[in-house]
Every structure is written in C-alpha cells, then in structure tokens.
Amino acid sequence: MILKPTEAVILAAGEGKRLRPLTNNTTKALIKVNGKPLLQILIEQLKTVGITQIIVVVHHLKNTVISHFGDGSHFGVKLTFVEQKELKGNANALPYVEPYIKKERFFLLAIDSLFETDLLKRLLSHQSEGVFTVKEVEDTSRYGTIAVEGKKVKKIIEKSLHPPSNLANFSVYIVPKEIIPECKHVSLSPRGEYEITDALQALIDKGMTFEYEKSNYILDIGTPEQLQEAQELAKKFRL
C-alpha cells in the first residue's frame, strides 16, 4: 500500500513578471485573492487534508514573505522557508528542499495555482506513485498537455500545435521523492530553464506510475485578467 503524503512543497520563488505592475513591490505569495494572500489560501487548503509540514521555496522579496508568515504556528502548520539561490526554473528549486523531505511522496504546488479544496482530497485517493492535475481546455496552445493510457499518464507534451489530448497540465501534483535527484539531471529547456515536467517524464520513462485527476476549476494566475478570474473562483468556493 502506498502511504499518503504528509508534506508539501510550494514553489514561490518567481518574480511574477507577467503580473506586473502588481508585483513591482510585492511577491505572488502575498497577492490577495478574496482578501487573503495566495500562500495563506494554499496553507489552509493543505491543512484541511492533514498536511502540516510545508516547505516554501522563496527568492524574490523573500524576507517579506518570511516575516508575514513566520513559522506557520498561527495557521496550525510548520512552515520551513528555503531559498532558491538562482531562478533557473522550477526543477532547479527542488534540490534545495531535499534535506526537508522525509516521506516517500509529497504534494508539489505552484504558488500561482488556485483550485477547489476538494481537489486535494481527490489527489490523495490515488494509489499511484504520483498524480497530475489536469483540466479539459478548448485552446491547448497556452498549456502543456498529457498523453494518457487509461488512468495513467504516459507523456507530457509542452505547448504543441498537435497536442495528444485536450488535458492541460497544471502545477498541482503528488510526486515521489525520487523526483528530487531526477531534477539534478534535467537539461536546459528551449526557454533556458530547468523544467519539472522533464523530471516527471524521466520518472515515467523509468516505469514509475503516474495517474491524473481532473479539475474543472483550477486556474493558473499568470496575468491580471486571470487574477480577476481567481477572485471569482475564491468567492465561489469560499477560499
């Protein structure tokens, strides 16, 4: 039996360039949605499903985030802040959390993902080594997509003119801890970053089992327009 994760990593190091000027003097972690900072929403959602050990990867304006949230005791969790020294992509962030991951699997979330809390419960119901979150979209040009075989993820395709499905990949996962050493071996992507999706594909190619869970509501908050959508979603689900 595969044990349920008790830890989470939240990737919150980026500068939020697409959200400027909103992020000129703050960081995405502190941008408010429905009156709450994004990081607080994720912390509260994780606590709802029993995740109380949370590692937050920071860089841009890191001290403002650390001073706002402290050790997490105010929220009933233990927060550990880890600095990503250089912003070279999300796969470059994970080796920094290696000393803090004790369990076989953990939640991995991007700070700019907003979703219904029930999604986390559904992810936990899977007995596979890892789980992707996907959403059916009409326009796949903005997203990486996945190729599936039954319940299993077989391939991750970055933005493509000929995607294998309309299942867009979003940055809310359960991952095995083997992803951390795998992240150390990925090559630079065409956009000059080290990508977690490349590490995930390597694990799939080695025979690890990844399933997927659909969400009808998940959002990637990358632009001011998407931030407005997020405000509506947060009100709908009382986040």
- The reported pLDDT for the residue numbered 16 is 62
Q: What is the pLDDT of residue 56?
A: 98
Q: What is the pTM of this model?
A: 0.95
Q: What pLDDT is stored for residue 139 in this prediction?
A: 87
β partners of residue 210: 130
Residue 119 contacts residue 133 (beta carbons within 8 Å): yes
How many secondary structure helices (H) and strands (E) does the chain include? 7, 13
Q: Are strands 7-11 and 105-110 parallel, antiparallel or unpaired?
A: parallel
**pLDDT digits over 85-133, tens only?**
988 999 999 999 999 999 999 999 999 999 999 999 999 999 999 999 9
pLDDT of residue 23: 60
Domains of the chain: residue spans and CATH: 7-236 (3.90.550.10)
Q: Residues of the chain whose pLDDT is less than 70?
A: 16-17, 19-24
pLDDT at 162: 80
Pairing of strands 32-33, 7-11: unpaired
